[in-house]
Amino acid sequence: MGWGARERGVSASVGESVPGDLGTPTFHALFRDYFGQMTRLAHLLGADDAENVAQEAFVKLHQRWDTLTDHTRVAGYLRATVVNMSRSRTRHLRVVRRTPQERPPDELSAEVTAVANWEHQRIRAVLGKLSRRQREVLVLRYWLDLSTAGIAETLGISPGTVKATTHHAMENLRKHLGDDLGGER
Amino acid sequence: MTDLERKLAETLREQAGEVTPNLDAAWAEQQRRQRRPRMARRRLTLVVAPLAAVLVVLTSVLLVSRMNIAPAPTQPADGIEVLNLASFAPQPFDSLRVVDVVELADFAGQTDTWSAFAFAAVKAGTGDQMLCVAAVPAGQRLEAGAPQYSGSPRCKSLPVTSPRPLSAGYVGEVGGPLPPGKAVFFVDPAVQSLQLFDNNGDLTQARVLGERLMENAVFLADMPPDTKLVRFRAKYGPFSSTPKPPASR
Question: Cβ separation of B18 and A112 shorter than 8 Å?
Answer: yes
pLDDT over 90 (residue B72): no
Residue B180 within any structural domain of the chain: yes
Query: CA quadruple B216, B220, B225, B231: dihedral positive or negative?
Result: negative
- Report the alpha-carbon angle A37-A44-A32, nearest 5: 10
Residue B176 within any structural domain of the chain: yes
pLDDT at A133: 92
What is the rounded average pLDDT of the residues B125-133? 88
Identify the band that residue B79 occupies on the pLDDT scale cut at 50, 70 and 90.
Answer: confident
What is the rounded average pLDDT of the residues B214-228? 88
pLDDT at A79: 93
pLDDT at A181: 55
Query: CA quadruple A65, A66, A68, A71: dihedral positive or negative?
Result: positive
Provide Rg for chain A, Cα atoms: 18
What is the rounded average pLDDT of the residues B25-46? 80
Question: Cβ separation of A35 and B26 shorter than 8 Å?
Answer: yes
CA distance A11 to chain B (A): 19
pTM for this model (two decimals):
0.45
Distance CA A144, CA A34 (A): 12
Contact list in A for residue B14 (CB cut-off 8 A) is 115-116, 120
Helix, strand, or coil (residue B30): helix
CA distance B44 to chain A (A): 16
Fold for A1-102, please state it.
Rna Polymerase Sigma Factor; Chain: A (1.10.1740)
CA distance A154 to chain B (A): 18
pLDDT at A2: 35
Count CB pairs under 8 A between chains A and B.
94
pLDDT over 90 (residue B34): no
Contact list in A for residue B42 (CB cut-off 8 A) is none
Q: What is the residue-averaged pLDDT of chain B?
A: 83
CA distance A173 to chain B (A): 9
The structural domains of chain A, with segments of one domain joined by +, span: 1-102, 112-176
Helix, strand, or coil (residue B202): coil
pLDDT in tens, A154-170: 999 999 999 999 999 99
pLDDT at B189: 86
Contact list in B for residue A48 (CB cut-off 8 A) is none
Contact list in A for residue B3 (CB cut-off 8 A) is 182, 184
- Residues present in chain B in total: 249
Of all residues in chain B, the one with the smallest CA distance to A126 is B8
Contact list in B for residue A28 (CB cut-off 8 A) is 27
Distance CA A118, CA B52 (A): 59
pLDDT at B185: 93
Distance CA B249, CA B237 (A): 18
pLDDT higher at A37 or B143: A37
Query: Domains in chain B: how many in total?
Result: 1
Helix, strand, or coil (residue B182): strand
Fold for A112-176, please state it.
Arc Repressor Mutant, subunit A (1.10.10)
Q: Which of A129-138, B102-111, B218-227 is predicted least confidently?
A: B102-111
Peptide bond just before B246 cis, omega within 30 deg: no
pLDDT over 50 (residue B163): yes
What is the rounded average pLDDT of the residues B32-43? 74
pLDDT over 80 (residue B168): yes
Which of A79-83, B47-51, B174-178 reaches the highest mean pLDDT?
A: A79-83
pLDDT at A13: 38
What is the rounded average pLDDT of the residues B123-144? 86
Contact list in A for residue B26 (CB cut-off 8 A) is 31, 35, 39, 51, 54-55
Question: Cβ separation of B34 and A54 shorter than 8 Å?
Answer: no
pLDDT at A10: 40
Query: CA quadruple A17, A20, A23, A28: dihedral positive or negative?
Result: positive
**CA nearest B168: which of B144, B149, B187, B194?**
B187
pLDDT over 50 (residue B231): yes
Residue B52 within any structural domain of the chain: no
Residue B74 within any structural domain of the chain: no
pLDDT at A8: 37
pLDDT over 70 (residue B12): yes
Mutate which of B5, B6, B7, B8 to disrupt the A interface (most A C-beta within 10 Å)? B8
Residue B200 within any structural domain of the chain: yes
- Cβ-based neighbours of A119, under 8 Å, separated by 6 or more: A181, B7, B11
pLDDT at A109: 60
Helix, strand, or coil (residue B164): coil
What is the rounded average pLDDT of the residues B167-196? 89
Report which residue type is found at A3.
W
CA distance B25 to chain A (A): 11
Give one DSSP letter per residue of chain A, joined into a string: --HHHHHHHHHHHHHTS-TT-TT-HHHHHHHHHHHHHHHHHHHHTT-TTHHHHHHHHHHHHHHTGGG-S-GGGHHHHHHHHHHHHHHHHHHHHHHHHHSTTPPPPP---HHHHHHS-HHHHHHHHHHHHS-HHHHHHHHHHHTS---HHHHHHHHTS-HHHHHHHHHHHHHHHHHHH-HHHH---
Range of the domain at B192: 80-248
Question: Cβ separation of B27 and A55 shorter than 8 Å?
Answer: no
Identify the band that residue B63 occupies on the pLDDT scale cut at 50, 70 and 90.
Answer: confident
Predicted complex ipTM: 0.74
What is the rounded average pLDDT of the residues B201-225? 87
Those residues of chain A that have pLDDT short of 70 are 1-25, 94, 96-116, 179-185
Question: Cβ separation of B30 and A184 shorter than 8 Å?
Answer: no
